Amino acid sequence: MPLKKKSKWKEGRAAYAMILPAVLIIAAVALWPLLRSFWISLFDLRLGDPTRNAIHYSYSMNVEQYADRFPGLLRAVKREAGNAGGGALSVLSAVEKKLDEVGGGLEDDRAFQERLTKVNGLLDAFSPVPQELRFIPVDNAKAERLKAELQEIRKELAGLKAAGSLERPDEVIGLTNAVLDTFQAPNFVGLSHYKDLMSGRRLWESLGNTMLFTVFAVALEMLLGLLIALLMNRTFRGRGLVRAAVLIPWATPTAVSAMIWHYLYDGQNGIVAKLLYEAGLISDMGTLLSSGSRVMGSVIMADVWKTAPFVALLLLAGLQNIPASLYEAAWVDGGGRWKQFLHVTVPLLKPAFFVALMFRTLDAFRVFDLIYVLTGGGPANSTESISIYAYKTMFSELDFGKGSALSVIVFVCVLLISMVYVKWLGADVVGRRAS
Amino acid sequence: MNQKTGLLLYIAIAAFIGIVIFPFLWILLASLKAPLYLYGEYAFSIKVPEYTLQNYISVFTNHPFGRYLLNSFTVGVLTMFLSISIAAFASYAVARLYFFGKTFFLGILLAVSMLPQIATLSPLFLFMQSIGLRNTYAGLVIPYTTYALPIAIWYMTTFFKQIPVELEEAAKVDGASLLGIFGRVLLPLVSPGLFTTAIIVFVDAWHEFLFALTINTKQSMMTVPVGIAMFQGEFTFPWGEISAATVTVTVPVVLLVLLFQRRIIAGLTSGAVKQ
């Protein structure tokens, strides 16, 4: 029926218009940055270093520095040549000729020539050179050739210096280096960040810490959550109160609950430290936040406190979806409590349980706030998770290339974990969640 | 249920509630003790010679805590409105309309909800830096909205699906347009669901830490979780002020949650399993 087809087409168009804003924002603020993270991880990008604080695909030259330094070098070499004699003179004349070639090679280019004139004009007038005029791209092969020539010049000057035939050797050599520095090399490094990370110990240790945290925290949360859910599924007076209490840890920001636990664990004034000490579980009140092996336990305990009640809530919803008639049928068949649990509760709660398990695992694997506030990853990196490592690399060391590589590694791990779960759970469970 | 198991049940429940709320009660107590009694021999006693509100006053006078609250609130409300308005349209399309690629769209949403935010942090940070959105509300609202969208669309899709199709068909017979049905018939009906989703989105934005920590570093633009984390000095922890600040941020959210607990629990458990 053409009419129906037309209305379906119209419906599709309306649907696309309605999802468009969501699609655009997700593509621009989640998917594009994800790809971009990988791209950045292929560069040596350091925010603290002016020569590497942006991505450079090819060579460029700092025209301002060139205008400032190159004529100085030329003058210095000429002056040395004027004072030298014999063999040194012929070497210096050759150097002078080579320098002219370097300068000529660059100034051959019309764009470079024009930019240089403009920058010189600004410098002569003592006015600042704006950022966008400072750098000009240079052909890679040419830049490498010129750099090699300058390095050759430096070698010859060093030879003269060793022979003692230069008047002010450090000045000419220093100026040669300064001119070399005006070339800005492309900072593409390929996969070398990944190679460095994989061969270092810190990545593996932080991955180990993350897995330790994930396995223990999630296992305890699922177990305790299930127990609490089973408790709450019974009818008793004050059930509403319990359900309300369960929401309180969820309603507290993780960073704030980490602060609370920091206070409870405190070596001098912490009540939990005091109680554990008096129960003989720890030998010294300070160990909860300072002894390597115990601190991870403290972090896990704080996470379990925050999340187990929430897991209980999710599992309780699953429990309440099981029709009471099934329990009655099991009871009629002569099944006791335990049999009812095994044959009714377990199979019917399984989907809800596994979905909660998967999302908890993914959440725990990217743990950041709790550790950042509670321990900062310390002592001696013993609680450093992979996200904390990535954060520190980016924002303490300002090494965005390596930090991005780490964050890509976090992403790949999360992807692998979710693939394993989806395969294990069967696509239908996840699919049902999504629709 | 016999009496013995009944008693055991109550003991278990009391123990559970005790463990859950003890940290709050203890921090509330700490916030009311005069700073002197937080340390030394009175550190562990409930009864101390002097209780005071000084910590609460000091939080607002010695730290820009009021400003942090304002920032968190503004960012939360803006995120809430933006993501609800975008998600309302998208979730209606998912729940009711036929379009090619729906499964793919839902798959992308699922993937984004699993995405570790740190994997997008460096480009977003550099982008916000380059266009001057660092230390602004927009710098946080944009990523928060993005990460809130999958959850918001899921929850609201469930709510839209609960409305009987007959209502729309009746409106269609009456000659209402698609947009008319959406705006006049469906939106009012899902407003409870909209409200629940809005609260959950707000709470998530109120909690967010990683973007807030990195993008808004200027003290006047910090949000509450970051502000509280920054209370600590290099070697000292002003526990009195920290606990007063903790109580101040927790109480309003807890009240909000308790007030609407039924709806929030329904929302949290009907959609995705996501914190």
**From A22, A249, A310, residue closest to B149, measured CB to CB:** A22
Mean pLDDT of B105-112: 92
Cβ contact B114–A362 (<8 Å) = yes
Q: What is the pLDDT of residue A5?
A: 60
Q: What DSSP assignment string belongs to B64-119? A: -HHHHHHHHHHHHHHHHHHHHHHHHHHHHHHHH---TTHHHHHHHHHHHHHS-GGG
Residue B245 sits in a domain whose CATH number is: 1.10.3720.10
Q: Which residues contact A374 (CB under 8 A, 6 or more apart)?
A: A258, A261, A262, A265, A289, A298, A299, A302, A383
Residue B103 and residue B239 in one domain: yes
Q: Which domain holds residue B244?
A: 63-270
Q: Is residue B121 part of a domain?
A: yes
Count the domains in chain B.
2
CA distance A111 to chain B (A): 27
Q: What is the pLDDT of residues B117-150, one digit of tens each?
A: 999 999 999 999 999 999 999 999 999 999 999 9
Helix (H) or strand (E) holding A176: helix A169-181
Interface with chain A: mutation pick from B19, B63, B106, B118, highest number of A CBs within 10 Å: B118
CATH 1.10.3720.10 assigned to domain A195-434? The reply is yes
**From A21, A262, A271, residue closest to B89, measured CB to CB:** A21
DSSP 8-state code for residue A375: T
CA distance A15 to chain B (A): 5
pLDDT in tens, chain A (435 residues): 445 566 777 788 889 999 999 999 999 999 999 999 999 999 999 988 777 888 888 888 888 888 888 999 989 988 888 887 778 888 888 888 888 888 888 888 888 888 888 888 888 888 888 877 888 888 888 888 888 999 999 998 888 888 888 888 888 899 999 988 888 888 899 999 999 999 999 999 999 999 999 999 999 999 999 999 998 888 777 777 788 788 888 888 999 999 999 999 988 888 898 898 888 888 888 888 887 778 999 999 999 999 999 899 889 888 888 888 888 888 888 777 888 888 888 888 888 898 889 989 999 999 999 999 999 988 889 999 999 999 999 999 999 999 999 999 999 999 999 999 888 876 555 555 544
**From B109, B206, B273, residue closest to A355, measured CB to CB:** B273
**From A256, A358, A435, residue closest to B228, measured CB to CB:** A256
Give long-range contacts, CB 8 A cutoff, 24+ apart: B1-4. Answer: B1/A234
Q: Nearest residue on chain B to A392, judged by CA atoms?
A: B214
Cβ contact B20–A248 (<8 Å) = yes
| B265 at interface of A, judged by CB pairs closer than 8 A | yes
| A276 at interface of B, judged by CB pairs closer than 8 A | no
Helix (H) or strand (E) holding A61: strand A60-62
Beta bridge partners of A43: A188
Contact A200, A208 (CB under 8 A): no
Residue B25 and residue B89 in one domain: no
Res B274 pLDDT > 50: no
| B124 at interface of A, judged by CB pairs closer than 8 A | yes
**Closest by CA position to A245, among listed A228, A262, A230, A270:** A228
Quote the tokens at residue A203: 């990545």
Residue B89 and residue B183 in one domain: yes
CA distance A42 to chain B (A): 13
Cβ contact B209–A369 (<8 Å) = yes
Domain positions in chain A are 2-40, 60-184, 195-434
Residue B76 and residue B44 in one domain: no
- Torsion-angle region of residue A426: left (phi > 0), alpha (psi -120 to 50) or beta? left
CA distance A316 to chain B (A): 9
Q: What ipTM was reported for this prediction?
A: 0.91
Q: CA torsion angle for B8, B9, B10, B11 (degrees, to 10)?
A: 50
CA distance A175 to chain B (A): 34
Q: Is the dihedral of CA A223, A226, A228, A230 positive or negative?
A: negative
Q: Judge residue A227's burial from the number of C-beta atoms within 10 Å of its C-beta, 0-12 exposed, 13-18 middle, 19 or more buried.
A: middle
Q: What is the pLDDT of residue B7?
A: 85
Q: What is the pLDDT of residues B213-222, one digit of tens each?
A: 999 999 999 9
Write out residues 296-335 of A within 8 Å (CB-CB) of B: 305, 307, 309-310, 313-314, 316-317
Q: Is residue B58 part of a domain?
A: no
| A21 at interface of B, judged by CB pairs closer than 8 A | yes
Residue B173 and residue B213 in one domain: yes
Using CA atoms, how far apart are residues A325 and A338, in angstroms rounded to an integer?
Answer: 17
| B147 at interface of A, judged by CB pairs closer than 8 A | yes
Q: Nearest residue on chain A to B239, judged by CA atoms?
A: A263
| A403 at interface of B, judged by CB pairs closer than 8 A | yes
Residue B131 and residue B230 in one domain: yes
Using CA atoms, how far apart are residues A371 and A300, in angstroms rounded to an integer?
Answer: 10
Quote the tokens at residue A47: 């925010």
Using CA atoms, how far apart are residues B157 and A116, in angstroms rounded to an integer?
Answer: 61
Residue B233 and residue B169 in one domain: yes
Res B272 pLDDT > 50: no
Q: Nearest residue on chain A to B269, judged by CA atoms?
A: A314
Using CA atoms, how far apart are residues A405 and A43, in angstroms rounded to an integer?
Answer: 10
Residue B244 and residue B119 in one domain: yes
